[in-house]
Amino acid sequence: MNKLNENITAGSNAANSKPQIDMPSMASSTMVTTLNIGVWSDERNDRAATAQVTVSNNASDKAARVQKFLFGGNCAELEAIKAFTSEARRVHKSLTVPWGDGGPRALANLAMPNHVKVMSFYEQEHAKAVDALVAVWNDLVIDAQVSLGDMYDPSEYPTSEEVRNRFYFRCGYEPMPQSGNFLADIADENVRVAVESCDRMNEFRIQNMLRDVFNNVFKMLGNMSERLDYTDTGETEEYRTKPSKANPNGKVMTRKVGVKKFHDTLVSNALDAADLMALYIPNDPVVRDAKRKLDETLRNVTEDDLRGDGDLRKDVKRNVDDVLASLETFDI
């Protein structure tokens, strides 16, 4: 059964429009956030072992490099911290948008409570993971003497408290720089230049920020449109998988003809991108219409619904294409 409301209205058809953006207002409603996570690596270049390898093979000094792991490549506690750090950075990036070059990211004021909550959780879990490493640190160092043999060097291992200080988790928030922070009424050429420079930089960065937001929307919706563009005829075909050791000639499998696969994040990715767009451009009617239409189209739809219902798949694709067409009128 078709789950879509048949009376969903189309988005705005305005041509060659620009989003309704008030730069000073956007600057005051957005802040800059930076995430810094300290790490300690157990990877080291072993010069003595490198020299031994090159000499024994009659090779030049720079022909090889011996890389060793201080815990023999087997430290579950350290690997857990590395994986956790990567996940925290990924989530931080997903909740923010680019701001300038490098580390700082932009964050809408309205999104700050959720960002603080999420990053606080990661900070607490990071501390627990570091505690777990410190608790077994001395045992790990003792075991390393056995696993590394002659490659063991005690000077390469900090104390447990020293290594604790190498790991840190800091998430900071600052107001977006604005020219109003300057004493703009002072009759000074240097102040005037500073004010103009701040305004130009803000406008440049805000434009780049919005461009990234829109590019993400187009990427997610475009992928959804492409993945939903098929008709399941019920026909099947045989195909052979890639060769492997177990099956040198590949394995014969059966698949549906023309049916496209998509991940279980297809819907959530599109909705997240739309939410982000509406968060940073809340006052534009085209954006509001696009957000509303995507909500009505996707909020109660699952990927399994889309796989199993051809009519639903066509309706969702049509509405997604309408939204894409309405957003393509923007000149950013």
Angle at 285 (CA atoms; ends 284, 287), nearest 5 degrees: 70
197 pLDDT tier (thresholds 50, 70, 90) = low
pLDDT the model gives residue 211: 85
215 and 156 fall within a common domain: no
13 and 47 fall within a common domain: no
3-state secondary structure 220-283: HHHHHHHHCCCCCCCCEEEEECCCCCCCCCCCEEEEECCCCCCCCCHHHHHHHHHHHHHHHCCC
**Sequence-ordered list of residues with C-beta below 8 angstroms from that of 261, at least 6 positions apart, any chain:** 227
151 and 186 fall within a common domain: no
The residue among 139, 167, 195 that closes a domain is 167
The residue among 131, 146, 167 that closes a domain is 167
Place of tokens 């993971």: 129
Kindly tell me if the per-residue pLDDT of 18 is higher than 80. no
At 315, the amino acid letter reads D
The residue among 134, 167, 200 that closes a domain is 167
pLDDT the model gives residue 101: 66
Per residue in 132-148, pLDDT tens?
Answer: 999 999 999 999 999 99
CA distance 192 to 179: 10
pLDDT the model gives residue 47: 87
Per residue in 89-108, pLDDT tens?
Answer: 999 998 998 886 667 898 98
208 and 158 fall within a common domain: no
Q: What is the dihedral of CA 254, 255, 258, 263, to 10 degrees?
A: -160
**Single pTM value for the model:** 0.69
Q: What is the mean pLDDT of residues 306-327?
A: 94
Q: What is the mean pLDDT of residues 286-301?
A: 93
Q: State the residue range of the domain holding 61.
A: 39-167
299 and 235 fall within a common domain: yes
Per residue in 202-258, pLDDT tens?
Answer: 677 777 788 888 889 999 999 999 999 999 888 988 888 888 888 888 888 888 888
Place of tokens 């060659």: 16
Residue 219 placed within a domain = yes
Closest alpha carbon to 62 in 76, 47, 80: 47
pLDDT the model gives residue 245: 83
pLDDT the model gives residue 28: 73
Asked if residue 176 lies in contact with residue 27, where contact means CB atoms within 8 angstroms, the answer is yes
